[in-house]
Structures are given as C-alpha cells and as structure tokens.
C-alpha cells in the first residue's frame, strides 16, 4: 500500500503543477482579452474626441460664425463710422520668428559628438589590424 502511495506522489505533483499552469494561463488570457478590450475603447474615445474637435472647428469657423451673427441680427457698421484709437507705447503683437531669416548664415554644426564620427571600418582596422600604438601617434 505504501508503494502505491509513494508511486502516486509524482503523479499527483505533476497533475497539481499542470492545474496551476492552466489556472495561470487562463488568468493571463483573460487579462489579455481585457487589455485588448480597453485598447478598443481607447481608440473609440480618441475617435470621438477627434470628431468633436472637428465639429468645434467647423462650428467656430469664420463662415459659420458669420451666419450665426447675421441670424441673430448683427450688422457690420459702415467703414465711415468706425473710429480707430492710437495708444501710445503699444506696438502691437510682435511676430514670432521660428526659422532664421533668409540670407543669414546657418550656425548649425550637427549634433553628433566628434568622438563618434569614426566609421565602423576605420574602427575595425584601427582596433584589429594596426599595431598597438597609443592614440594620437602616427605609425611610421
């Protein structure tokens, strides 16, 4: 009887291991499906946001705002009735220059450090096929 019990211990352990593996695999699969569902919801929300932004842009466009203004009775004043005020010290909005002005020499020198500008073939030759000399010395 003990021999049968001792011979069944490895079988029970294997079955227990397989059952733990199956449980963990099922939980991982369920988590994967939940993540996939959340990604679909995220894409749907992003699509809705983009749609609402485009609707807002259309609703606040010049043509639509002009139609709304005319619908509620707004009338543009004639040019001769407009009066402009000059405010001393106010120069208006200054333009923002993103690019350098044309004709000005570009001072861009690159972003790569000079220590990293050696080619692979030059590095291989210097490392494996040239005599061992301290860097900076010329082989004569």
39-60 tens-digit pLDDT:
999 999 999 999 999 999 999 9
Share of the chain above pLDDT 70, in %: 83
- Is the pLDDT at 131 greater than 90, yes or no? no
Residues with Cβ < 8 Å from 133, sequence gap 6 or more? Answer: 139
CB 120 within 8 A of CB 127: no
What does pTM read for this prediction?
A: 0.44
Name the residue ranges covered by the structural domains of the chain: 2-71
Q: What does DSSP assign to residue 93?
A: P
């Amino acid at each position: 009887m003990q021999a049968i019990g001792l011979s069944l211990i490895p079988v029970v352990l294997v079955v227990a291991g397989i059952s733990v593996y199956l449980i963990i695999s099922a939980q991982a699969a369920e988590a994967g499906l939940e993540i996939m569902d959340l990604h679909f919801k995220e894409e749907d929300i992003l699509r809705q946001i983009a749609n609402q932004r485009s609707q807002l842009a259309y609703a606040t466009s010049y043509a639509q705002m002009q139609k709304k203004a005319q619908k509620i009775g707004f009338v543009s004043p004639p040019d001769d009735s407009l009066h402009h005020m000059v405010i001393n010290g106010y120069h208006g909005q200054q333009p923002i220059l993103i690019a350098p002005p044309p004709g000005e020499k570009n001072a861009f020198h690159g972003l790569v450090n000079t220590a990293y500008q050696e080619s692979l073939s030059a590095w291989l030759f210097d490392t494996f096929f040239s005599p061992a000399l301290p860097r900076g010395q010329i082989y004569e």
